[in-house]
Structure formats: C-alpha cells, structure tokens
Structure 1
Amino acid sequence: MCLMQEEVPRQEVFLLHDFTKNSTMSGCSPFKMRLVHLDLKGAPPRVCYLSEIFPLFRALGANGLLIEYEDMFPYEGHLRLLRAKHAYSPSEIKEILHLATLNELEVIPLVQTFGHMEVYYLGEGEDSRHWLQQEPNTRAELCLSYMEAVASHVQARHPTTTPLVWDDMLRDIPEDQLSASRVPQLVEPVLWDYGADLDVHSKVLLMEKYRKSGFSWLWAASAFKGATGASQALTPVEHHLRNHMQWLQVAGSVPVDTLQGIILTGWQRYDHFSVLCELLPVGIPSLAVCLQVLLHGGFAENVKARVENFLGTSSLEATDFRSERAGSFPGSDILNLITQVSLHLCSSVDALLERDRYVTGWFSPYHRRRKFIHPVMIQHIQPQALSLLARWSVLVGELEAALQRVFYPDAVEEWLEENVHPSLRRLQALLQDLGEAASPRPDSGQDP
C-alpha cells in the first residue's frame, strides 16, 4: 500500500521521434477509466488554474481524477489542525467537484490511511511485536488484518463505496493467504509501476495471481511525472511514454475487462519531507502524450500531431519549450521559463565562476578570501557578472509572477529557493567580493 517512486538517472532532454515509427493504433483504449492524479501535498494549484486544465484533461482523453487532498482539505473539528495555511475552503472544494462534473471527470479521493502512515514499520510496535510472537502469526497476516479493518470500516460507513489500494504490500503475499482473507472481497488492488522498462510478463502473472485470489477487479497505475528523480525539474517525456507503451502491452496480454482502468500518477513530492519535483504545468506535455497513447493504442505520427495541436506547439522537443513554441496550453509560460532556468541558469553561472579565465586566474577563491585583485581585472569581470545577474533577475521575476498566478506563496517560495536563489546568490557574492576588493583599505597605503 505504500507508494515509492523509482529512482532513475536525472534526464532533462527528451526525444520522441523514434516512437512514431512502426507504431500502430487500436482505435479503442483497453482502459475504460483513465484517471489523472493530482498530488496536492506539494504545490497545490489554485482553483482558477484547475478550471483551465480540467477541460484539457477531458479533451486529451481523461474521464476521471484521483485527488490526493492531503492538508489542502478544509478539515473541521479535531482534524482542523491538519489544514495547510492555504487550504481550500469548503466552497472551493465544491467548485473543484463542480468543475470535474462539468468536464465529465469522475472524482476518486485519495485518503492516506494505513498505507502511507504505518507500513514501513509494520510489526515494530509493542502490540504488533507481541502478536507476531504467537504462532502462526506473520507480518503478512498482520498487514491483511489492518487492511481488512480499514476497508470494513469504509464499507460499513459507505456501503456503495469500494476502496482501492496500492498493491505494494500484496505482491509478496502468497495466493492462499490472500484467498483465505476477506481483503479480496473488500478492496480492488492498484498495480503500480512507473518504470520505462516495466516487465510485462511479470505484471501479467501478478494479475493472474490476484484474480485467482478472489479480486474481482484490478487497476493499473502509471506515471506522467514525478517518478524519475526527487528533485526533477523538467519531465522526461520519453520515459513516461515508454511506461505507457508497456502498460498497453500488459492490457493486451490479459482477458478483456480484467483492468477497470489506469491511474496516471503525477507525484509532486516523493514523500512529505522531500523537495518538490516537476510542477504540474511542466508535466502537461507528458500527460498529453500519455493520455493520447492510451486512447489510441500507440504513438503514430497522427497521434503526435494531435498532441501538438492540443498543446498549441509545433514541437515536443524539450529544447523548444524555451521559446514561443512552448505552447498555448494553461501554464505553458511556466514551462517555458522553468526550461530556461533548468537548462541554463546554473550552467551560465558555473561558466563565469569556474571557467572564465579572468575569474579563475585573477580572482580565485584565494584572492576572494583576501579581497585582493588587480584593478584592471575588475573591468573584465564586473560587467559580465552584472549583465548575467540582470538578465537572470528579469527572467526570474517573470517566472515568479507566472508561478504566483497558479500556485500559493509557500510553493512559489520553495521552488525558487531550491532552484533559483542558490545560483543568484553566487553571482551576488562574487559582485560583493569584487566591490570589497576594489575599495581602498586603511592599511593598503592608498590615499583615502
């Protein structure tokens, strides 16, 4: 039930052309339900932005939402302390649900229970340890008993509601143990795998095991962003395209209607303590590609053209998202600016501080600590540093304004602090050291 993102090497630039060759289309999606996951435990969008992207979700082929409300839900009573500073109001929650209805998107809430709050330490509590010491109790039985308790509670309160559960903890439980429990009659497992090299055969065998264990319906979970690096800033579309192509192979290898649907997850943090990964607007091109692949059964040239048309762009190459060709979809300005920052801010500062011959030769760390420089060299370094700082300050100002239109202040502050400010501070520190080195010192022998 615990969700853990797969760690793969950081990848910034993606290429899609090869997937259009020899690609076929079935014309009918094997997934009846195609849910877009909104992870609100990091950078939750303002409702006004959701009103802009829900129609796009629907147009691209989504027919549902998995909303991970987290602390953005307006809890009352003794749960009120869980509210975030900028939590949605009750009226905003109603507006979100209304917008979903208008766009024919079924809403499934994702509520953290046993899965994300206890499971790594299953069996380590005092009561659990005592229970496990009694034969023939096992950690698998302990897990199933907890799942049964939670699911039974939901069923008692909401008889027409069926809980879905991430399948991590079910994968290694023997078929006979699953069959002997009530869990298969209470929940529907979500088989998640975000890898570009998903093992199709193993997934098919796992689905067969679940069906034999008594689960009537199964779900799949892919990823359109948030699964390729905890601090990823740009979404590697090729990785996610491959992931969905593999899921299509899985769906084509099992009996029809085995899968109820697929959840396209878009994680915003790996867990509650990690940094932000790709912001939602940055992941929209990947989402568009993935939804259209699921809808049409492949990524032929005409599907690629449809995606580009939906996004209002003439190219899906990452390097083209730093120009006017970034697109016209809601949030495309954020993608454009973040692409420029991610690909060039740090590298441009590194080029000046670590590879410029005047800086490395005449204002090295040794010189900077002692505030010592040949006056002529200031003329070679200072203008470059000022120009670079001014250029990036303007762009960052545009990015901050764009982010504020979509996100709340705390998310904007966090993203800029993690991805922008460190590089700008390096430039500012260089200029400050230059200024101090150029200033006459009392003991220097220079005239005041």
Structure 2
Amino acid sequence: MASMSQRLVHLDLKGAAPKLSYLEKIFPLIEQWGATGLIMEYEDMFPYHGNLSEVASSQAYSVEEVKKILHMAEQHNLEVVPLVQTFGHFEFVLKHETFAKIREIPKYPTSLCPCHPDAIPIVTAMLDQVLEMHPKTRWFHIGCDEVYHLGRCDLCRRKMADENLTTQQLFFGHVKTVATYIKAHYPTITPIVWDDMFRFAAVKDLKTSGLGDLVEPMIWHYLSSFLLPENLFDNLCTVFRDIWVASAFKGATGVCASMTNISFHVENHLSWLRLIDEKGSKFNSIRGFAITGWQRYDHFAVMCELLPVAIPSLALCLSVAKQGVFTQDILMHISNQLEFKPGLPLNPYQCQIPTECRYPGSDVYAAMIDWIHTQAKCDQFLQSDTLCSWMNDYNIERGFVNLMHIEPIVTEATNILARLCEVQIKIQKSMEPIFSDETVTEWIQTYLEPKSKRLSDVVEKGQKVLGRVNFEGFEEKMSQDM
C-alpha cells in the first residue's frame, strides 16, 4: 500500500459555526482519536476585509478568533489546511451585488465566470487574505467541485471558440491559473483540488492540463458502494504522484437530516480502506483521509446534522481510518469514552431505547433524539387519514363535522404541540452554549416552528368547530324544550 499518514477533519463553517469555547473542548478529542489536522472551510466565516469585507458574514470569526483557533489546533498537533472555493460553490461571494458581475450565469449565484477580467483578481485577493493568516500551512484546498453551467456565458463561449477549447479544458485552465498563482507567491504550499470535475476526463486531456506538478487531487466519495469510474485511479496515476481521498462523518445522507447514521459512514470508510489497499500502490503516496462533515449541502441549503450530534460518528470514523478496521472493541471503547448508556447506537433513527451520554455537546445529541421521535409522531399525525378524512377544509367550511372524530383529533394535536414546545426549550438550551443566537434561531425556525404552526392551526380550527357546534347544539336543544 502507498504511504498514507494524514487524517484531516473537515470543519464546514457555512452553517452552525461553533463558538471557540466548543472547539477548545473537541480539539483534544479529535487529536486523541487519530486526527493529524483540520480542513477549515471558512466560507463567509473568515474575516475578509478591504474590498472583500462584504463577503464576511456578520457572524464571521474575528482576526483574533482565527488566530486563537490556529493556536488551539497547534497545541493539539492539528495541522490546519484552509479551504476556499475558487470556482464552483461560490455563492457566498456571488450572492452579493458587488460581485454579481463575475457570475457565469447572471441569475445564478453559483459559479464564477473564469473568463471575466475581474474573476482572478477577486479570487487571488481572497487567497492572499486567508494565506496571510496561515503562514505555516503546507496545503491549501482551492475547492473547484460541482462547477455547474461551465462555459455558458458569452465570454466563455467566445474564448472556447477562439482557442478551440472544450469545457473540460476551460475548467483546467482556470484551476491552473489559480494553482500557478499559489505556487508563484507561496512556493512551499501545494494546492489541493476536488476531483469530480475531471473524473471522466481523457488521459490526454489530463496530461496536457499542466496540473500534474501543480495540484494534488482529492477524490471524494461518501457512499459504501462505490460509483467511481472504474479507470479513475489508472488515469490519475499517469499524471499525479500524490492524491488524497475524502470520506464523510456527517452531512452526506440527507439535506434535512437531524441525526447521523454512523453505520453509513463507517461502511464508507471501510470501503475506502479496501479500495486504497487495491489501488494505493499506483501512486507515490495517498496522503490520507479528509473526513468531511458537511453542515449544508450548499450556501443556500438548510442546516443538516449539527456537529455535536456527529461527534460519536467522527470518533468511530477517525478510529477506523487510523486502525484500518472496525471492531466491537473499537465500538465499545468509543461508547465508554463518550459515556453512552446502554451503548452507542450506530443508527439513532432506529433506536427505541432511551439513551444517555456525556461528552462535549451531548446535550444537543439528547435533544435531537427527542426531536426526531417527536417529529416522526408529528408527521404521522399531520399525514394521517384521520386528520384528512374528518377534519379537512372542505368539511369544516361547510360545518359537515362529527364531534366524535374532531374531539380526539384536537386532543392529539394539543398533546403533540405541547411536546414540541418542550423539545424546543430543550434544543434551545442545549445549543446556546455552542452556537450563536442566530444559528439557534435559524434551526428552530427552519425545522421546529413550521411543525408547531401546522399543529396550532389544527388545534385552532378544531376548537372553533367544537365551540360552534356545542353552542349551536345547546341553543337548538333549548328551543325544543321550550
């Protein structure tokens, strides 16, 4: 097997960026479980300044906070690799009117136009600001995955026509420009790039791309059953001496997932280990794993699993990546370390037994367990035949109702609503020490409040029906008695 020494934990900061006090608690654990470094995908959480100040979120880390993160990482022997998107997934920049001019498609703030004269100056200005604060980094991830609508604007079409370029060559050209800039101005740094945009490239195009001596590809795949092109590794090894692989410990099973299916991610790592054993000798080195933990699927998506609920998954995935196997002893060790009672469930969605645990952020884990069970009960009720049959708008508007059915519907809705209120208090209390108020508010308003509103509507309509029918029935009975 090719040498493989790095295990980088990816911290996706484009949603639910943790407070430094929480990072301070988990960095020692990450080191203990076998991580050698961190990939910091700052997005709009970096304190960009000057002409880029608009890019920084109002919640962005300050310069001093970034310095403290780097210091904490160094204390725990975690090498920091910054990740800044420089092509696709550029929404955090392109959403601003100031930078809309460099969009590939004017109405989509997704990918930049590589041919716009302002594109490279904006990208390199971002790189300079980030690298100025990371003088010790050896690698810099420039992203470049999922570049949608490539070669669609007039500037790109003109360039492709004038220079007889394919969209693949247009992509390679931009990556080469960015990587060459880094190599020229920061010669000790090696750029890393996601592999998906040249997975299906012909070998001749890879060889003529000029990227072989400039970048190291990071091949990402998050499923247990691999769907990568069969000849991918054979093609890459003709051009690249060193590569990376990227697995996931969270954020790859559903855009709205609240809990982490650990089994899914452990299987992904085991599949990677088998593939590395088979293909690794083709390269000088497979640098190691980047264990990704996505917080949103893109800048405009909702938040998925919060970092604290995925800490058990991260612990097991790091252990598997380091030791090369998954055993009951490893599971028991992590379960005991995180104080799970009766034991760490590998798929919390299937766990019906009450679970206790104690680790940094375990209150969020416990609150989310309550949430997924309450959410399931709520959805089951809202989608039930009972509600649709006896309390639909058509019947209610016409007073065509039977109290025998309305009363239990209102009672059940009231009970679930009360339970949702309890869960909301628990979630809010558990999240506040770890995340900003804006993150807590976003999560509650995204997931919990829409359910509460729908239940409240059911209760309100039901109570009006009950009040009206009871009162009218009472009046009719009185008139008959008289």
TM-score (norm 2): 0.79
- Is 1:35 equivalent to 2:8 in the alignment? yes
Distance in 2 (CA, whole Å) between partners of 1:128 and 1:353 is: 49
Would the alpha carbon gap of residues 73 and 440 (structure 1) be closer, same or farther in structure 2, given more than 3 Å must change? same
The aligned counterpart of 1:343 is 373
Q: Which residue of 1 aligns with 2:143?
A: none
Post-superposition Cα deviations, 1:184-217, rounded to whole Å, max 9, x if no partner, equal: 1111111111111025893xx423322222x221
**Change in CA separation of 1:440 and 1:249 when aligned onto 2, cut-off 3 Å:** closer
The count of residues paired between Structure 1 and Structure 2 equals 416
Q: Distance in 2 between matches of 1:74 and 1:135?
A: 39
1:300 CA displacement: 1.4
After TM superposition, the structure 1 = structure 2 runs for residues 33-72 of structure 1, keeping only pairs within 5 Å, are: 33-72=6-45
CA contact (8 A) 1:200 1:246 kept: no
When residues 379 and 243 of structure 1 are mapped into structure 2, their CA distance, relative to the original with a 3 A threshold, is: closer
Aligned equivalent of 1:395: 423
Q: Does 1:266 align with 2:287?
A: no
Preserved contact between residue 241 and residue 284 of structure 2 (Cα < 8 Å): no
Q: Shift in Å at residue 99 of structure 1?
A: 1.1
User: Is 2:161 the partner of 1:188?
Assistant: no
Give the counterpart letter for 1:183 in structure 2: L
| Cα distance in structure 2, aligned partners of 1:389 and 1:367 | 23
- Check conservation: 2:3, 2:287, Cα contact below 8 A: no
| One-letter amino acid matched to 2:260 | T
Q: Which runs of 5+ in 2 are unaligned?
A: 90-110, 113-146
Task: Note if contact 1:29-1:296 (Cα within 8 Å) is conserved in structure 2.
Answer: no
Question: 1:163 Cα shift?
Answer: 0.6
8 Å CA contact 1:372–1:437 kept in 2: the answer is: no
Unaligned runs of 5+ in 1: 1-27
1:184 counterpart SS class: coil
1:31-430 matched pairs, under 5 angstroms: 31-116=4-89, 117-118=111-112, 119-134=147-162, 136-198=164-226, 202=230, 205-213=231-239, 215-253=240-278, 254-255=280-281, 258-313=285-340, 314-317=342-345, 318=348, 325-348=355-378, 350-351=380-381, 354=384, 363-370=391-398, 380-430=408-458
- Measure, in 2, the Cα distance between the counterparts of 1:184 and 1:257: 13
Partner deviation per Cα, 1:273-315 (whole Å, 9 max, x = no partner): 2221111112212111111111111111211112212322142
Q: Is the 8 A contact 2:378 2:451 kept in 1?
A: no
Deviates more, 1:217-226 or 1:408-417: 408-417
Equivalent AA in structure 2 for residue 161 of structure 1: I
Quick one: which amino acid aligns to residue 298 of structure 2? D
CA distance in 2, matches of 1:29, 1:426: 56
How far the C-alpha of 1:269 sits from its partner, in A, is 1.2
Q: Where does residue 7 of structure 1 map in the other structure?
A: none
Measure the CA separation in 1 of the matches of 2:392 and 2:13.
45
Larger mean CA deviation between 316-325 and 190-199 belongs to 316-325
> Residues 54-76 of structure 1: CA distance to partner in whole angstroms, max 9, x if unpaired?
11111111111001001111111
Shift of 1:376: 7.3
| Distance in structure 2 (CA, Å) of the matches to 1:30 and 1:235 | 30
Matching residue's letter, 1:152: T
The answer to which of 251-260 and 291-300 deviates more is: 251-260
Change (3 A) 1:44 1:307: same
Where 1:107 maps in the other structure, the secondary structure is strand
Greater RCO, 1 or 2 (C-alpha within 8 Å, sep 6+):
1
Question: 1:267: Cα distance to partner?
Answer: 0.9
Residue deviations 1:74-121, cap 9 Å, x none?
111111111112111111111111111111110000011024333322
Tell me, yes or no, if the aligned pair for 2:4 and 2:285 is still in contact at 8 Å: no
1:317-376 deviations in Å (ceiling 9; x for gaps): 2168787634212111111211221233242463377356xx677645444335676667
* Paired position in structure 1 for 2:115: none
Deviation per CA, 1:146-184, whole angstroms, max 9, x where unpaired?
111101111122111111000112222222232233211
Offset, 1:387: 3.1
**How far does the alpha carbon of each residue in 1:5-61 deviate from its partner, in whole angstroms, 9 at most, with x for none?**
xxxxxxxxxxxxxxxxxxxxxxx9963000010111111111111111111111111
RMSD: 2.9
